[in-house]
Amino acid sequence: MREHPKDSPAETVLRLLATSDVHMHLTGWDGRVDDASASRGFNRLASVIRAARADAPGPVLLLDNGDSLQGTPLGEVAVGMAGCHPWAELLDTLEYDAAGLGNHDFDFGLDALTAFCAASRTQVVSASPDRPLPNIVPHIIVDRTVTLPSGHTHPLRVGITSVLPPQTLVWNHALLAGKVGFLAGVDAARQSVAALRRDGADIIVVLCHSGISSLSPDDTENFACPLAHSVPGVDAMILGHTHERFPDTGYGTVTGVDPDQGTLFGVPAAMPGFAAALLAQIDLCLVHDHEGWHVTEHSVRLRDLEDAEPDRDATRLAAPCIAATRARMQTVVGQTGHGFHSYFAMLQSGTADAIVATAMQRSVKAAINGTDLAHLPVLSAIAPAAAGGRAGPNNYVTASKGEIQARHLAMMCPYQNTVWAQRMTGATLAAYLERSAQFFAPHPSGLGPLLAPNAPAFNFDTVHGLHMTLDPFAPLGARVTSLTRNGVPVSADDAFLVAMTSYRGAGGGDFPGLEEPASLQLDVPVVDALRSYLAAHPIGDVQSPSVWSFASAVPRHVLIETSPRAVNHLEEIAHFRPEPLGLTDTGFMSMRVTL
């Protein structure tokens, strides 16, 4: 190997390309809605990757930041298919240098994950597990040879590690308890970065499957800022988990975050949204002197799909899984006498929630028959699984009168949760629902958005079997104005058994009343309970009434965002006096309603 002369420093530009939160959007087709989007899909992003690699001024690393194996029905189908997993084939075909892990990559269990890792030539990296896992390493060093303008060469060693939220054990408790735990994100990164430096890494990249928040030590889920602030030796970060994009001007008020420079406490960072809609690109200008390689300048950008054509190889590799998924999603699982949807989930509950709630209650009642829990009234805590949000204006349950297909179930139950239940008192339920009411954050005068910024709908639980009224304008902790069962107020010491998902029962969402182990933990997947219920119980022709309503001292206008298709159903919310205002930049219908 020829070394560069000592009297002239070596210089190069290292390009980092990264995907994150692909969630099995292998193409723009989504089996849950049986429709395609031109704004997402890995087969088109693959073309962007090839272009970004081709126009790079120096060496390139291609990385994935996790949450790739779950998210659309393709994920479940791929796990059961014979042969190599399509995402493993895509990683290999696009020549990824490393793939990190996200929390949802554990959704099918350790056996499925380790089988995937074994099938891919791409090294899977994660420093977060508290014990060794097959085919997963805490960090790696990728060697590159830098060719300088003079023709001389110089070695460059890039260390790569990956971390994820420790809450992964909570969210997947039913699958992972007793098998693996997870270190705190900052601690895992600190250990791995130090090891990489000892092993001779020149530059270190952290695949941080976590979002941007403050430096608060209480936020152990979104720890990107604490990591950048307190872990020395990190040269660049790829972010994820929250499905947001960075750089973005919306982060201009967060301490340590510079959305113009694309840095967290001076560390270059990028987050490429989700669903293969964006590619993160970080260019690091490197200089080598007597102290080694170091970063002198950087640039950060997100490359979108623009007019990218689908990549032929990526499309071909995705095709068998898509064909199998399409066939499965068209399977008829039930009948409904009326159409139903989740367009107005922020204003009232409806048939979609009621079906899931009833199916879960049915499973719990069957399980407790003849036990010491049988005397308790069984309720069901349900959050809308598909209600817009970051997933976009197509992220709603929509079923027409007639056949209910498997694709509708996939939208109503998108996660691999099982049915659990917890014994709760009326007082605990009131506190539980107060936590749920944090979903709302209207301005005291109205005339602004009804929902809290970035509030996920999957943490807005309502309890079926009761009726709740709430005042969204009241202070937090004092919003539930009444809670009744069959018209009778619920007293503080009333006892119930509340069906819920294993995600919620294990502590997901930090709801009160779930500190003790669940009273009942069934191995029945929620989607199987739903399928069994629909097979035996056709849905009638009457819409399910809402199990909650607003109580406001005076009428006030607020703004909501929903699907553009919601304008065809405004009669269902006539009492809110809806006024469509037009489409937002992200494709939602903005609407003024009166509470």
In this structure, is residue 87 part of a structural domain?
Answer: yes
Does residue 407 sit in the same domain as residue 497? yes
Contacts of 551 (CB under 8 A, 6+ apart): 469, 470, 471, 481, 482
Does residue 346 sit in the same domain as residue 222? no
The predicted-structure confidence for 135-146, as pLDDT tens digits, reads as follows 999 999 999 999
Output the pLDDT for position 216.
79
% of the chain at pLDDT higher than 90: 85
In this structure, is residue 224 part of a structural domain?
Answer: yes
- Out of 324, 357, 386, a domain closes at 324
Q: For the chain, list residues with pLDDT below 50.
A: 1-7
- Out of 291, 324, 357, a domain closes at 324
C-alpha closest to that of 158 among 284, 50, 261: 284
Which two structure tokens, joined as six digits, stand for 450? 């009804």
Does residue 139 sit in the same domain as residue 274? yes
Cis peptide before 247 (omega within 30 of 0): yes
Does residue 176 sit in the same domain as residue 99? yes
Does residue 364 sit in the same domain as residue 308? no
In 3-state terms, what secondary structure has residue 420? strand
Beta bridge partners of 267: 264
In this structure, is residue 4 part of a structural domain?
Answer: no
Q: % helix / strand / coil in the chain, to the nearest 5?
A: 30, 30, 40
- Out of 301, 324, 347, a domain closes at 324
Determine the distance from the C-alpha atom of residue 5 to the mean position of all C-alpha atoms in its chain, rounded to a whole number: 49
In this structure, is residue 250 part of a structural domain?
Answer: yes
At 417, phi and psi to the nearest 5? -95, 155
d(CA 183, CA 278): 29
Does residue 506 sit in the same domain as residue 440? yes
Contacts of 17 (CB under 8 A, 6+ apart): 49, 52, 53, 60, 61, 62, 63, 279, 280, 281
In this structure, is residue 191 part of a structural domain?
Answer: yes
Structural domain count of the chain: 2
Does residue 270 sit in the same domain as residue 365? no
Does residue 336 sit in the same domain as residue 215? no
Does residue 22 sit in the same domain as residue 158? yes
The predicted-structure confidence for 477-496, as pLDDT tens digits, reads as follows 999 999 999 999 999 999 99
Does residue 293 sit in the same domain as residue 426? no
**Residue 130 maps to which CATH number?**
3.60.21.10
**Residue 379 maps to which CATH number?**
3.90.780.10
In 236-344, where do the E strands start and end? 236-239, 245-246, 257-258, 263-264, 267-272, 278-289, 292-304, 332-336, 340-341
Which two structure tokens, joined as six digits, stand for 566? 């919601």
Contacts of 248 (CB under 8 A, 6+ apart): 259
Output the pLDDT for position 1.
31
pTM of the model: 0.91
How do 548-550 and 267-272 pair as beta strands? unpaired
In 3-state terms, what secondary structure has residue 283? strand
d(CA 86, CA 60): 24
How do 278-289 and 10-19 pair as beta strands? antiparallel
CB contact burial 150-165 (16+ within 10 A = b; e otherwise) = eeeebebbbbbbbbbb
Does residue 458 sit in the same domain as residue 540? yes
Output the pLDDT for position 8.
53
CA angle 563, 568, 574 (to 5 degrees): 100
Does residue 241 sit in the same domain as residue 358? no
The predicted-structure confidence for 241-280, as pLDDT tens digits, reads as follows 999 999 998 887 889 999 999 999 999 999 999 999 999 9
Q: Which domain holds residue 152?
A: 10-324
d(CA 155, CA 119): 30
Output the pLDDT for position 390.
84
